[in-house]
Amino acid sequence: MHQEIADLFDLSGKVACLTGGASGMGRSAGRLLSQAGAAVVLGDIDDKGLQETVTSIQDAGGRALGVRTDVQREADVIQLVERAVEEYGRIDVMGNIAGIPQQSMIVDTREEDVDRVLGINLKGVFFGVKAALARMIEQGGGNIVNISSGVIDSAGVATWACYGMSKAGVAMLTKTAAAEGAPHGVRVNAIAPGLVVTGFTERHWLEPDGSENPDKKAAFLKAGSEMAPLGTIGKPEHIAHAILYLASDASEFVTGQILRPNGGVSMPW
Ligand SMILES: NC(=O)c1ccc[n+]([C@@H]2O[C@H](COP(=O)([O-])OP(=O)(O)OC[C@H]3O[C@@H](n4cnc5c(N)ncnc54)[C@H](O)[C@@H]3O)[C@@H](O)[C@H]2O)c1
């Protein structure tokens, strides 16, 4: 017998922890998981953005809490997960969403660039997986969703070495964590988004003084849309929908997988 559709996506009584909650996909996912009934604990280094997300969730009647978290620091990530448990009693969903772009030719890439990108995009996700997995194993279940990137499906593209390494690492980490979590009822999946308009893409149209260049923005959005067979560029909501699916009972037979909301840009098996 099928569960009611609303029940499949219902997160009432559940607790979700999301990194990168101050902006883009993390903010959108926080709002959506809250609408689905979860209490939401958001971590980010951007205090102002974090507070805006928390306030918007609370204003809509949801339960939310912001915890300043630098995902490069394991102690911060442990503290984020522990705050969720202290405040709401458990952790059912961990979304490792925080990440940064970085582009440079390999020969021009400095040691600090490598450390920073791998520190945030790969070590940060590892710390999130580790902290959540420990709690979820104790609890006897949970769901972890990691954000990788569509870059993992591309042929080598000049300037994306460090970013690509970090996101390929997230995909592999996801599979290992899925194997370790499965005997304990913990599912672990990843999302490899295509191009999505967020703080991540703004650098393509912001001038050095921080103002928007509307022509550059229009050209970027046009090129991004034309790249996808579906003829559209991604919105943070597209990724939040995928996170809700992976965080809910709707995906209860799914683990160790990479979901690709990307408008059809790449279509691996
Ligand atoms: N936007 C895209 O086109 C795209 C495509 C594929 C993958 N991604 C991935 O999606 C994820 C979310 O990015 P987004 O597009 O929403 O961008 P975004 O810039 O809007 O959000 C990223 C968030 O991560 C936070 N962050 C950065 N460093 C941090 C740190 N050290 N500790 C904690 N938080 C930190 C930022 O403050 C920001 O709030 C990232 O992992 C990114 O690599 C983005």
Going along the chain from its start, the domains and CATH numbers come out as 5-196+234-259 (3.40.50.720)
∠ CA 229-121-232 to the nearest 5 degrees?
A: 15
pLDDT in tens, 232-264: 999 999 999 999 999 999 999 999 999 999 999
Query: For residue 24, how far is its CA from the centre of ligand 1 (angstroms)?
Result: 7
Instruction: List active site positions.
Output: 163
pLDDT at 182 over 90: yes
Q: Is 128 in the pocket of ligand 1 (CB under 6 A)?
A: no
Q: Is 195 in the pocket of ligand 1 (CB under 6 A)?
A: yes
Please state the φ and ψ torsions of residue 147, each to the nearest 5 degrees.
-100, 115
Q: Is 67 in the pocket of ligand 1 (CB under 6 A)?
A: no
pLDDT band of 1, cuts 50, 70, 90: low
∠ CA 153-195-220 to the nearest 5 degrees?
A: 130
What tokens appear for 125 in the block?
């996700």
Query: For residue 5, how far is its CA from the centre of ligand 1 (angstroms)?
Result: 31
Q: Region 193-204: what's the mean pLDDT?
A: 94
pLDDT at 2 over 80: no
Q: Region 80-91: what's the mean pLDDT?
A: 98
Which residue has its alpha carbon closest to ligand 1 atom 7?
A: 149
Question: Is the pTM value of this prediction over 0.95?
Answer: yes
CA distances from 174 to 148, 185, 188, 232, 242 (A): 9, 15, 6, 28, 16
For residue 70, the ligand 1 atom closest to its alpha carbon is: 32
